[in-house]
């Protein structure tokens, strides 16, 4: 009998070791009513779940337990949880999307030419202008609405529903929950924020699959994800990266990385950083918005802590890969 009990305990210990489940409830911030089919996921991954009719959810977070958790739903602004409990239910309140209706809406048939122009601008800014972007399609463009500010110089876009993207270049279906999009035409400055969820194209086999693997590899090298992964392991030199300060002095790992413990590292430097990758790609630069920027070995970094310039700033939604992406798997096929 003791052996049976011991075996049962060992089985349960192993199950716990391989699972880290969190639970919670998603509620409307104003009505306090449950939100059905809210997406609970890790931004930039394909790991997530949906809330049920009572607004309840549960998710295994073992793989990405150190990353913030994202919650998105149709008609609501996304919520980011930097801290969440795995010992008690998490209660999440979501705010409905409200837009300034006093601004000019450019969407109806009388503004068809303006809308087409706005869609072209939106695609270029949002998806990018790379080969990958040329092979992407937003499949629900009718859900996107455009607003002009009173001075007509700033284009704004909003949508109640998530933006659905078919990335036929890299083999992903993308769901993007847009929270904000603004583009200033005179100076070509833009800002868009939101959350992204990836789904693998499981129909790809044979030659098509190898094509995706090659294009993903091309997108990976020289990417922001690649930079932070190699930085974590102090492997910038062998990976082909050079980091310099504004005085053109080459910096080492110890000059730009602050380590709290084995699991927590920060990119930190007093001043802008110049980044070059190989000899065939234009340079990039990092402008700090915070004193230090948290990053992880899978390439995740705090997006609110950095502004990018140059080549890495040109990498848009069409060029992104999920954090589960492994270059070793791609190279081994």
Dist. CA 43–CA 193, nearest whole Å: 12
Is the confidence at residue 66, as pLDDT, over 50?
Answer: yes
Model confidence at 327, in pLDDT bands (50, 70, 90)?
Answer: confident
Assess contact for 276 and 241: CB atoms under 8 A: yes
pTM above 0.75, yes or no: yes
Q: What is the pLDDT of residue 193?
A: 93
Closest CA to 137 of 161, 106, 172, 91: 172
Q: Among all chains, which residue has been given the structure tokens 């094509």?
A: 211
CA distance 2 to 4: 5
Percentage of residues of the chain with pLDDT beyond 90: 67
Residues composing the chain: 333
In the predicted model, what is the mean pLDDT of the chain? 87
The most confident of 18-22, 29-33, 201-205, by mean pLDDT: 29-33
Residue 318, helix vs strand vs coil? helix
pLDDT at 298 over 70: yes
Helix (H, G, I), strand (E, B) or coil at 299: coil
| pLDDT beyond 60 at 329 | no
179: region left, alpha or beta (phi > 0 left; psi from -120 to 50 alpha): alpha
317-324: average pLDDT: 97
Round to the nearest angstrom and report the end-to-end CA distance of the chain.
49
Say how many CA atoms lie within 13 Å of 250 toward its Cβ.
Answer: 6
Q: For residue 152, give every residue at least 6 positions away whose Cβ sits within 8 Å of its Cβ, in sequence order, or none.
A: 104
SS3 329: helix
pLDDT at 9: 40
| Angle 297-221-70 from CA coordinates, rounded to 5° | 45
Q: Which of 177, 108, 175 is nearest to 147 (CA)?
A: 108
- Reply yes or no on whether the pLDDT at 244 is more than 60: yes
According to CATH, the topology of domain 2-94 is Immunoglobulin-like (2.60.40)
Overall average pLDDT of the 240-247 stretch: 96
What pLDDT does residue 231 have? 97
Residue 230 pLDDT level (bands cut at 50, 70, 90): very high
- CA–CA distance, 69 with 48 (Å, rounded to integer): 9
pLDDT over threshold 90, residue 126: yes
Greater confidence, 249 or 21? 249
Handedness of CA 110, 113, 115, 116 (dihedral sign): positive
> What are the pLDDT digits (tens) for 93-124?
999 987 654 454 555 555 677 889 899 999 99
């Amino acid at each position: 009998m003791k052996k049976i009990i011991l075996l049962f305990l060992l089985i349960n210990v192993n199950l716990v070791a391989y699972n880290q489940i969190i639970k919670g409830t998603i509620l409307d911030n104003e009505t306090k009513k449950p939100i059905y089919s809210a997406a609970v996921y890790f931004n930039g991954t394909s790991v997530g779940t949906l809330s049920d009719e009572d607004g309840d959810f549960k998710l295994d977070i073992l793989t990405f337990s150190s990353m913030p958790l994202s919650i998105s739903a149709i008609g609501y602004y996304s919520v980011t949880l930097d801290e969440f409990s795995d010992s008690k239910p998490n209660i999440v309140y979501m705010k409905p999307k409200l837009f300034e209706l006093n601004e000019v809406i450019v969407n109806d048939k009388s503004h068809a030419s303006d809308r087409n122009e706005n869609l072209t601008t939106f695609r270029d800014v949002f998806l990018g202008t790379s080969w990958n972007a040329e092979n992407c399609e937003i499949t629900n463009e009718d859900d996107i609405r455009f607003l002009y500010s009173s001075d007509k110089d700033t284009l704004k876009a909003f949508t109640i529903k998530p933006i659905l993207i078919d990335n036929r270049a890299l083999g992903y279906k993308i769901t993007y929950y847009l929270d904000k999009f603004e583009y200033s035409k005179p100076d070509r400055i833009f800002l868009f924020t939101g959350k992204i969820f990836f789904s693998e194209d499981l129909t790809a086999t044979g030659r098509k699959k190898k094509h995706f693997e090659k294009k993903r590899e091309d997108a990976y090298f020289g990417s922001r994800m690649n930079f932070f992964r190699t930085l974590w392991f102090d492997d910038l030199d062998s990976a082909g990266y050079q980091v310099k300060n504004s005085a053109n002095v080459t910096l080492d790992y110890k000059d730009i990385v602050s380590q709290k413990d084995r699991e927590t590292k920060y990119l930190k430097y007093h001043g802008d950083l110049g980044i070059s990758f190989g000899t065939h790609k234009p340079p990039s630069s990092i402008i700090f918005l915070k004193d230090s920027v948290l990053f992880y070995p899978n390439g995740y970094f705090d997006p609110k802590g950095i502004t990018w310039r140059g080549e890495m700033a040109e990498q848009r939604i069409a060029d992104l890969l999920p954090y589960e992406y492994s270059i070793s798997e791609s190279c081994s096929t």
